Amino acid sequence: MPNSKSPDQALKLITEVAEATANELGFTLVDAHFGQQGRKTILEITIYKPGGRIGLSDCEVVSRELENRLENMKELPALLHGSYVLDVASPGLERVLKTEREFRIFQGNTVEIKAKSDVGQGGFGQHFLAKLGAYEAEASGKDAKLTLHDLRELPVAPQAKQPKGKAKAKIAVEAVNELTTAVKNLSLIKLYADLSKAAIEHRDDEAVDLNTTK
């Protein structure tokens, strides 16, 4: 567990090593932080592969290499108190994005947004999908800003047909191609996973595995 006097120093060193390790192995470091699981201290490392998937074997490769490098860091033990368990994982399909690093890494991905006030007219409201655009860091006292592209409504689950005469008129939605807003105006920024598409891809992968089994 990090010593109360030096957690920032320890995590800074670990982050630098984790980032170099991930990059050399073809991945991107998303996050590094200490967590607690019961009495165990967990060093949680999250990696990402732009345009690809992170599998268990990828996490194992990064974990082995990173563990070796951390064990060889002579200055690290003095900054830590006790042992920790290293856990390397993928970001997950619906990761909530909170940091500048995450906003930059996942630029171009589709995200689910919850805003604190209505966006557009006639349908977007405060909850919608968009493509994550550029992040402008806070400077000179100004709030950090985020640009969103191609705003669209969240998919609606199929519902039973309405009885005749009770159908509601659909409100026309005004297209919003680009929106730049302060990050503080958004209460949720989360990677959007099309679960129906993911299920189809998973099924196709299983079919390939079955077809290639000898």
pLDDT given at position 123: 59
- Per-residue tokens: 5: 């006097």
Distances (CA, A) of 21 to 74, 147, 166: 17, 31, 60
pLDDT given at position 38: 87
**Average pLDDT value for residue range 135-156:** 86
- Hunting for tokens 């732009």 — which residue is that? 50
**Average pLDDT value for residue range 165-179:** 66
- Hunting for tokens 């670990």 — which residue is that? 14
Question: What topology does CATH give the domain 93-155+171-214?
Answer: SH3 type barrels. (2.30.30)
Distance CA 40, CA 37 (A): 5
pLDDT band at 37 (very low <50, low <70, confident <90, very high): confident
Is-contact 145 135, C-beta < 8 A? yes
Going from N- to C-terminal start, the domains of the chain cover 7-89, 93-155+171-214
Give the Cβ contact number of residue 52 at 10 Å. 10
Is it the case that residue 171 has pLDDT exceeding 70?
no
Sheet containing 125-136: order of strands: 176-182, 145-152, 125-136, 110-119, 186-191
pTM here is 0.78
Which letter does DSSP use for residue 204 in this model? H
Is-contact 103 191, C-beta < 8 A? no
Close Cβ partners of 134 (under 8 Å, ≥ 6 residues apart): 107, 146, 147
Task: Please give the single-letter amino acid code of residue 82.
Answer: G
* pLDDT-wise least confident of 28-32, 42-46, 115-119, 148-152: 115-119
Q: What is the CATH number of domain 7-89?
A: 3.30.300.70
